[in-house]
Amino acid sequence: MSITKNNTRMLEGNLTTSQLPTIPNSKLENSSVTINGSAVALGGSTTIATGGTNSPVFSATTTTGQSISSDTMTLVSYPTENFDPDGVFTNTASNYKFTVPSGKAGTYSLTAKIFVNANGASQLQNYFVEIRKNGTAVATTGHNFNSNDNYWAVPEINTLQVLAVGDDIQVFAQVSDGSGNPTIGYGGNGTYSEFSGFKLT
């Protein structure tokens, strides 16, 4: 049923699907809309993508203690990958690094956590932990104890970094231990260490 109001014909009542107006794909194929800052093309086989997948993503940890020299900044080994679906983390000896792959430049969230331990009782004096980009520190944490009354600590760093394709990210640690033989990476009750990251934008 229809009525006329102000010279405009209006429809009232329930319409069936066949009565609804349609816009042919040919009128939409070269058009687009913007959702959350991303252009979405319209057409017969439209796929609407919203947001990213935070890829690449990785997480690696330790399963054994790593003996290091006291007062010496040392590359932290993370030999066990929890997950690395894009193959961006290298867990071989002397590397232990995340490398930004082709087409994945952007802003990344990076986290490094490391167990530091004085093998001598109450001998932990201080520690420093760094996240390095291409060999240069971009995030650092540390602590200097007033007295040698600590056995171990678990410092953690979180940082946001704008990374280019090919940038390498590694974790370094330095421990001052009165016994002269500190250990990093693994505690008596299991691992406390992890190096992880993912792409934000």
Stretch 52-79: mean pLDDT: 89
The listed range with the strongest mean pLDDT (45-54, 99-108, 151-160) is 99-108
Average pLDDT over residues 169-175: 94
The average pLDDT across 148-174 equals 91
| pLDDT for the residue 143 | 86
List all residues 6 or more positions away from 74 whose beta carbon is below 8 Å from its beta carbon. 66, 68, 172, 173, 174, 184
Model confidence at 191, in pLDDT bands (50, 70, 90)? low
Question: Which pLDDT score, from 0 to 100, does residue 196 have?
Answer: 96
Q: Are strands 2-5 and 124-133 parallel, antiparallel or unpaired?
A: unpaired
The per-residue pLDDT for 123 is: 79
121, 151 contact by CB (below 8 A)? yes
| Residues 113-135: tens digit of each pLDDT | 998 888 766 778 888 999 999 99
pLDDT of residue 50: 46
pTM across the whole model: 0.72
Q: According to the model, what pLDDT value does residue 117 have?
A: 83
